[in-house]
Amino acid sequence: MLKFAARSDVGKVRSKNDDSAYVGRYLAVVADGMGGHVGGDVASASTVLDLVHLDVPDTPDAETVLPDEIQAANLVLNELVNANPKLSGMGTTVTAMLLTGNVLQFAHIGDSRAYRLKNGVFEQVSHDHTFVQRLVDEGRLRPEEAEMHPHKNVLLRVLGDSDASPELDINQYPVEAGERWMLCSDGLNAVVPDSITERIMRGTASLEETANDLVETTLAHGSPDNVTIVVFEVVEADPETDLPPESDADSAAEPAPDTGQLTIAAEGGLEAGAALIRHEMSKRPHLLVGAAQLATETGKIPVVTQRSGEKRAAAILTHKGPGTPTDPTEDFEQSESRPRRWLVPTFLALMALILAAVCIWGYLWTQTQYFVGNHDGKVAIFKGVSQDLGPLKLSHVDAVTDIPLDALPEYTRQRIQSSLPARDLAHAQMIVNELTVTVKQNCPVVVPEHPGSPAALTPLPSYCQEIRP
């Protein structure tokens, strides 16, 4: 089983802790929530609390139960968003380990990390699902450059309402007594190099000292983000220590829920739901830190209720259950949002007006343009542009000349058929004059004949008689 320690801190900059973590005899979970003002703590706490029932010695379907339960927790997040649109866009990373026999089942998504110290070797076993890590994996970025990349925190995979079936990294690690593991949110590795983390992991005598030193080192480096540390060591199982000492259990245990409490919790009662979670966890040694701890203590954010028998009766507790006192700041946010319902239709109407104005201006501009093209087999000057916009014609004939296309050289004829753009009307007339000169070079030489002779009676084409502007 696992011997453990954990600590979470809001950090030097953030005003709210969006991290959550749980660790017990057989389960360790770290979740780093995201989603702004209201979503991050909800996502991480809901996910962690939905996994605590796995902290038992014997788990059926050992190789699949952890990823299956994480997928189920993801569905809970989707339901939370459906129940409360203010939570839209929230998400969370998850790095979880479940001890089944002598194997640690591993499931991971996001950029929280898992490190192992075994047989003198310290290594990271998780893989960051970030944009920068993908660039490193593809050889497009060096690891040392990744640390300074402006998009190093862009996540490619998380739990949340954006994906109904997120892709998890899954693995199994055979364990031996004495090896140490550390799970952390990215608040640690964002400011503390792995070399310092390794030194602390190797040099501290107790797990509590390890967790405290890692958090304090992070705070000393500025800690712009929340930081959460879970440290555990694999030890030989002792049945006598599998339950809390009687003195601790008697003082900490919540009363067993009755039918009435279960019903109230299922209907959204915050206090009842929090009491069920506390009762579930009080039956076993554990540490709960961060937003998940706040959820069970105060009921201020959604949590998932306990399992009833073999089938989980998941009831989602929203921010305000029946009879819950209203938060004045929340009422202020809601009252501010009601008048803003006109913003969307106003914005759409404004965009439609701008689009109409652009279209009108574009059409008027086309009517200031000219080009030389083909009209019924003759060279003509057109006003507008040669392209059409669907059924809308963007040009019309301004003047038709007497120059047939057949009288022009092949190359010139193709250019006319494709249209020759002109800067203005004068330029278009100049192009026509040049074409007239070109075609006139092919006119026959006429020798003056007596009036009435056959040659004199044959009329010449008009373009051979004069050069017309």
Q: What proportion of the chain, given as a percentage, has pLDDT over 90? A: 39
Q: How far is CA 63 from CA 67, 157, 387, 399, 424, in A?
A: 8, 22, 64, 82, 77
pLDDT, position 297: 79
Q: How far is CA 103 from CA 51, 63, 452, in A?
A: 18, 10, 117
- Residue reference for tokens 């590795």: 189
Task: For residue 332, name the pLDDT band (cuts at 50, 70, 90).
Answer: very low
pLDDT, position 120: 95
Give yes or no for a contact between 102 and 162, defined as CB atoms under 8 angstroms apart: no
Dist. CA 162–CA 157, nearest whole Å: 10
Residue 64 clears pLDDT 70, i.e. is over it: yes
User: What pLDDT digit, counting tens, does each position of 420-436 carry?
Assistant: 888 888 998 898 888 88
Q: Which residue has the higher pLDDT, 115 or 243?
A: 115
Q: How far is CA 116 from CA 5, 24, 107, 248, 381, in A?
A: 15, 18, 15, 31, 80
- Residue reference for tokens 């000219």: 370
Helix pair angle (259-266, 270-282), 10° resolution: 120
Dist. CA 348–CA 174, nearest whole Å: 59
User: What pLDDT digit, counting tens, does each position of 295-306 carry?
Assistant: 887 766 554 433
Least confident residue range of 88-92, 278-282, 419-423? 278-282
Dist. CA 408–CA 440, nearest whole Å: 10
The token pair at 363 is 């059409």
- Nearest C-alpha neighbor of 210 from the set 462, 23, 61, 455: 23
The token pair at 306 is 């306990």
Dist. CA 8–CA 291, nearest whole Å: 9
User: What pLDDT digit, counting tens, does each position of 342-377 carry?
Assistant: 777 888 888 899 988 988 888 888 888 899 999 888
pLDDT, position 161: 63
Dist. CA 164–CA 121, nearest whole Å: 37
Dist. CA 384–CA 398, nearest whole Å: 9
Q: How far is CA 341 from CA 39, 50, 89, 335, 351, in A?
A: 22, 35, 20, 11, 17
Residue 324 clears pLDDT 60, i.e. is over it: no
- Max distance between CA atoms of the chain, in angstroms, equals 139
Q: What proportion of the chain, given as a percentage, has pLDDT over 70? A: 75
Task: For residue 257, name the pLDDT band (cuts at 50, 70, 90).
Answer: low
User: What pLDDT digit, counting tens, does each position of 383-415 carry?
Assistant: 988 887 777 788 888 899 888 888 888 888 888
10 Å Cβ neighbour count for 466?
A: 9
pLDDT, position 307: 36
The token pair at 165 is 């079936």
Dist. CA 218–CA 197, nearest whole Å: 10
Least confident residue range of 250-259, 308-317, 405-414? 308-317
Of the ranges 220-229, 270-279, 299-308, 334-343, which is most confident? 220-229
- Residue reference for tokens 């693995």: 171
Q: Which residue type does 224 have?
A: P
The token pair at 170 is 């899954």
Burial of 75 (0-12, 13-18, 19+ CB in 10 A): middle
Task: For residue 269, name the pLDDT band (cuts at 50, 70, 90).
Answer: low
- Nearest C-alpha neighbor of 82 from the set 164, 201, 16: 164
User: What pLDDT digit, counting tens, does each position of 187-220 carry?
Assistant: 999 999 999 999 999 999 999 999 999 999 999 9
Give yes or no for a contact between 17 and 291, defined as CB atoms under 8 angstroms apart: yes
pLDDT, position 151: 77
Dist. CA 367–CA 379, nearest whole Å: 20
Query: What radius of gyration do the chain's Cα atoms show?
Result: 38
DSSP 312: E
Residue 125 clears pLDDT 90, i.e. is over it: yes
Q: What backbone torsions phi and psi does residue 328 show, to the nearest 5 degrees?
A: -60, -35
User: What pLDDT digit, counting tens, does each position of 25-37 carry?
Assistant: 999 999 999 875 5
Residue 51 clears pLDDT 70, i.e. is over it: yes
Q: How far is CA 309 from the centre of its chain?
A: 37
